[in-house]
């Protein structure tokens, strides 16, 4: 302390030492109170920053999904696609590949996110077979654009607490048969990534060959 304040301090010490001691004690308490309050404020602000950081970390997508095998077709078989009965006699699946379609319902309890790198694989007799690019005719894809998960949700995010239902198709080697897919023990694996690159994987163990009308 220097200047006028130093003069006042010295005067009080000489002419009124008792008041000087009281004021000195008060000054010490004020300093202590300032230090404590500053320290408390610092801790409070650091906790706020930590909470914000945790909120940012927790703002990640969180997907869950359920799916079913909705269709399988052999190489060169006629097209069977739900309500598109008028196309069945006109369009054939390409020869050289079998094909598999799943119908999935996906929910998201985390931050909004698109879907990336959707994949379907099958495990038959402990052998993993990765599905390839769909070989369903392009003309059909255009008509059913809204049904394909990859076409809609690769650009449109699934919102928080929202859901999406759609299909995904893959091609499989032509030696894979309907019996291979539907027989008990075959595992169908559906997976995709969120916008941050986290991969989600869901499995369904088949329980046996399904009976179909007319078969």
Residue 173 has pLDDT above 70, yes or no: yes
Residue 71 CA to residue 69 CA, distance in Å, equals: 6
pTM for the full model?
0.65
Domain boundary assignment for the chain = 4-58, 63-205
Residue 158 CA to residue 202 CA, distance in Å, equals: 18
| Average pLDDT for the chain | 77
DSSP state of 196: T
Q: Which residue has the higher pLDDT, 119 or 83?
A: 119
pLDDT in tens, 12-50: 556 555 655 555 555 655 666 677 777 787 888 777 666
| H and E: helices and strands count for the chain | 5, 7
CATH code of the region 63-205: 2.60.40
């Amino acid at each position: 302390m220097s200047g006028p304040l130093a003069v006042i301090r010295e005067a009080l010490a000489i002419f009124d030492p008792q008041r000087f001691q009281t004021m000195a004690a008060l000054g010490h308490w004020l300093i202590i109170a300032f230090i404590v309050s500053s320290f408390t404020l610092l801790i409070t602000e650091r906790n706020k920053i930590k909470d914000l950081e945790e909120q940012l970390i927790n703002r990640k997508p969180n997907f869950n999904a359920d799916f079913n095998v909705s269709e399988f077709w052999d190489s060169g078989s006629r097209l069977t696609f739900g309500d598109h009965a008028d196309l069945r006699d006109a369009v054939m699946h390409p020869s050289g590949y079998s094909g598999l379609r799943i119908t999935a319902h996906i929910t998201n309890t985390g931050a909004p996110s698109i879907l990336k790198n959707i994949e379907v694989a099958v495990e038959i007799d402990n052998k993993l077979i990765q599905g390839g690019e769909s070989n369903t005719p392009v003309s059909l894809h255009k008509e059913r654009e809204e049904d394909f998960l990859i076409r809609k949700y690769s650009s449109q995010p699934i919102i928080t607490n929202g859901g999406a239902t759609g299909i995904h198709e893959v091609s499989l080697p032509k030696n894979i048969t309907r019996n291979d897919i539907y027989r008990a023990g075959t595992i169908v694996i559906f997976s995709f990534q969120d916008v941050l690159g986290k991969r989600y994987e869901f499995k369904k163990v088949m329980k046996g060959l399904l009976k179909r009308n007319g078969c």
